[in-house]
Structure 1
Amino acid sequence: MAQSDSKRIAVVGGGIAGLTAALRLAESGYQVDLFEAAPALGGRTKSFYDEEVDEWVDNGPHAMVGAYHATLKLLADVNALQHVSWQSSLTLSLWDKQRGLFDLKAVSWLPVNLALIWAVYRLPRHDFSSVKGMLRLAITMMNRTEEQTVQQWMDEIKAPKRLVEDMLEVLCLGVMNEPMHTANAKTFARVLATSFSSHKNAKMGWFNQPLSQALVAPVADKLRDLGVNMELRHTVRSLDELNHDAVVLALPAFARNRLLGIKEEVPTQAITNIHLWFEENLNLPNMMQGMLGTYGQWLFDVSKMLHQTTGLHHVCMIISADETDLSQISQKELIDRVLHEAEMMLGRALPEPKKVRFIREKRATVLVRNQKSFDLPEHVFLACESPAPGELPATIELAVISGEKAAHELLGWDKNHKINA
């Protein structure tokens, strides 16, 4: 839909939600000014250059799933689908001290629901009780309340301990970045229903380039082609600064509240990423290795993900929902702990890493909670991470959806109000 050149839109926030909103509005013919307080676009999905290892580094690896339809469409629209690689079928590679290495693998020749049940049944030390647990989970999935936690749901269906530890807790921490005793059951049920609706949706993928190159740069290039003005290091402190026909706020909920003067606290959760570089290839058993009963939960072979064959070998240990008090334990102690866990998994001593980088995103995830409503000027639209129970958790997919939704709402408002008519 072509729009008048005089219609100017401000997008506040240059993360994925803001970039998506700006793209859709610019495609519809609006003049768009995008304001980002940081020196680079991308929000928490940006990368940084480390001169010492001569490498672009993400704060932490980001997995994709086939159910991220909005993200995949965005990548397709900016000709960047080639930056995502995929498993042939859903496989979660796991390890614990008692059972060693094993895979939860959904065979492609069965319908996905049956394939998943069969995969769980075949896990070491599982039996028909896990099958019954999976069936009870599926039967009760649509009956979750907004107040129920994932742990309460698991208690209700009497989910076997092994099923919880080997699959459900892993997924809850990985997708929602929150432990089961506080994570919202209604949102977790939506994640399960969406992700395991088909083999295509269930399979996992990964970015084969750093996020700044794989996702942020292609969108930014498209925005430049569309004439979007992008101002970095520009902090918007009041809506009164913006002399625009409409505004999209594409900020995390806590930053939105600060800008609007809203006193409500927004619960967030940290993620810790421990990057390790070695002179030799560690020959990890899998590119994405889940670890059970350990501080480090996922060990990623970043060099393999990015097809790097020269230079130092880069791996990263992820700790989701990390509530470790860094005033009580040092970073070095935590690094030593994950190195010891990796040695237990590999069954051998590791060489001393040539470089270590400890990155904790204190507000990595805005948690799923009921939010109080508040009034906004009619020309202001939200593309903020603020998931309510039953909505998708704060992921790249939610950011893209939020940007799309805000742009759609603005288009509808413009049609009815005829900006600058």
Structure 2
Amino acid sequence: MPAQPFGLRVAVVGGGWAGLAAGVRACEAGHRVQLFDMASQLGGRARSLPPDDAGLRLDNGQHILIGAYRRSLALMLQLGVAPEAALLRLPLRLRYPQHEGLRLPPGAAMPAFVRGVLACQRWSWRARLGLLSAATGWMLRGFRCAPELSVAQLCRGLPQQIKDELIDPLCVAALNTPAAQASASVFLRVLHDALFSGPGSSDLLLPRRPLSELLAEPAQTWLQTHGAELRLGHRVQSLVPGAKGGWLVEGAAFDRVILACSAAEAARLTAPLAPGWSAQVAALKYEPIITVYLQHPGPAWPSPMLALQEGPQAPAQFAFDLGQLCAEAAGRSAWVISGAAPWVERGLEAAAEAVRRQAQRELDWAQPPELIRVLAEKRATFACSPGLQRPPAAIAPGLWAAGDYVAGPYPATLEGAVLAGEFAAANL
């Protein structure tokens, strides 16, 4: 039903997952919403590209969700997307091309973790017991540690095999930051919520459909149905206080404003209004992600998602057999380089060629795979470093920020974006 006329007039600047979550919650509360986005389509850094010559839509990067993303899943369901149909749910499994890694059985979180670790015959008994001892210590300390610790420092007592085959892959997947530079306190929060917060929390949820169909496109339909006005392809240039309170966005009066745009855009718009907040946002550093899409000649893989051993000539840490997720994508795969700054410097052509060789070598293909496309999101996530002070959501009276970079429990994830959007909307 359309928004009620007595609600506040709210501007949401930015149409990524944070902005969409904020817009939906604001409409739901009876406010009148106008959403601006500088792109011609919604979704931000989690969207699909236009169809290719074969009619298939690649995503602007391979994304996954986990069972602990409860707000994201609830929002999808509200928008008419059935998560059980749109996502392939698998128990956490770090399957490497040539061997099995950690694999968690179903069941209550803590017993499942213990059983999974003890059953991992790839690791020595010393390594398995060392991991369980460390995890017990983290649990007894409430999954908290000194804010200045890095993940590498937190885990320095663990056997090298555990660090190579579990800690490093999980760290770069969750924080998009190498363990030596990643915040241990944020990593522990992610481990707590993913591995120890309830049955199914650690499950991997792999998209069966183009990413835009999971949230952006259903949200666009929902918002329009509920009376929101969408202005796509419009970069907001003017944000100033109103003469009688509220805010003027592009000269139009609003009672409240939610900045759900990128951190760089939020810093630009707030520089004359809240210079301290703007400077804190502008100081954030970023980590890129490269996704290499290949057409591969081999048969189906042992698992839809493979973990990979990173090395000087092996840049990808994870690979996805897209044909196991969607029949129309048979033979296609996505290879992900997280924390990809060194490979961005070397160039996308060099990164793609290194991944092609890595893929052929890892999966023992007789012929090299064909490169379909290589994509780089140079500001994919903020660098989640130890002691990082992230900016607060509140900027000024009636002006809020919503994005995965604002202060919160998670690193730059889809769930972090949704939580930030809902938090800003709840404070209108």
Deviations 1:254-313, CA, capped at 9 Å, x for gaps: 3211211123421111000011125x554222211110133111111123212326xx62
1:102 equivalent in alignment to 2:118: no
Tell me by how many angstroms 1:154 deviates: 1.0
Give the alignment of 1:104-253 within 5 angstroms: 104-108=102-106, 111-121=108-118, 122-141=120-139, 142=142, 143-155=144-156, 158-197=157-196, 198-240=198-240, 241-242=248-249, 243-253=253-263
Query: CA–CA distance in 1 between the matches of 2:302 and 2:393?
Result: 50
Shift of 1:49: 1.5
Amino acid at match of 1:290: A
| Contact 2:295–2:369 (Cα < 8 Å) also in 1 | no
One-letter amino acid of the structure 2 residue matched with residue 260 of structure 1:
T
How far apart are 1:375 and its partner, in Å? Answer: 7.7
CA contact (8 A) 1:104 1:123 kept: no
Partner of 2:243: none
* CA-to-aligned-CA distance 1:223-247 (integer Å, 9 cap, x gap): 1110110001111122124211111
* Identity level (%): 27
Alpha carbons 1:90, 1:204 under 8 Å: kept: yes
Q: Is the 8 A contact 1:269 1:364 kept in 2?
A: yes
**RMSD of aligned residue pairs (Cα, Å):** 2.2
Change (3 A) 1:407 1:6: closer
Give, as a single letter, the amino acid of the residue that structure 1 aligns with 2:260.
A
Counterpart in the other structure of 2:423: 405
The separation in 2 between residues aligned to 1:217 and 1:239, in whole angstroms, is 27
Deviation at residue 182 of structure 1 after TM alignment: 1.2
- Establish whether residue 298 from structure 1 lines up as the match of residue 297 from structure 2: no
Relative distance call for 1:6 and 1:252 in structure 2 (3 A) is same
Tell me the distance in 1 between the aligned counterparts of 2:167 and 2:86: 25
Give the conservation status (yes or no) of the 8 Å contact 1:11–1:32: yes
C-alpha separation in 2, matches of 1:84 and 1:123: 33
Partner secondary structure for residue 43 of structure 1: coil
- The match for 1:90 among 87, 92, 95 is 92
* CA distance in structure 2 between the aligned counterparts of 1:367 and 1:326, rounded to whole angstroms: 15
Residue type of the alignment partner of 1:359: L
Q: After TM superposition, which residue ranges in structure 1, 4 or more long, deviate above 6 angstroms?
A: none
Q: Gapped runs of 5+ residues in structure 1?
A: 411-421
**Structure 2 partner of 1:417:** none
Cα 1:32/1:87, change in 2 over 3 Å: closer
The match for 1:358 among 357, 361, 374 is 374
Is the Cα–Cα contact under 8 Å of residues 117 and 134 in structure 1 kept in the other structure?
yes
User: Scaled by the length of structure 1, what TM-score is found?
Assistant: 0.88
Deviation at 1:189?
0.5
More divergent stretch after superposition (312-321 vs 27-36): 312-321
Local SS of the residue matching 1:26: helix
Alignment: residue pair count: 396
Structure 1 residue 6: Cα displacement: 6.1
Q: Show structure 2 runs of 5+ residues with no match.
A: 241-247, 272-277
Is the contact made by 2:403 and 2:416 (CA closer than 8 Å) also made in structure 1? no
Report how far residue 67 of structure 1 moved.
0.3
Letter in 1 for 2:415: E
Q: One-letter code of the match for 2:389?
A: N
Tell me by how many angstroms 1:387 deviates.
4.6
Quote the Cα distance in structure 1 between the aligned partners of 2:374 and 2:61: 10
TM-score by length of 2: 0.86
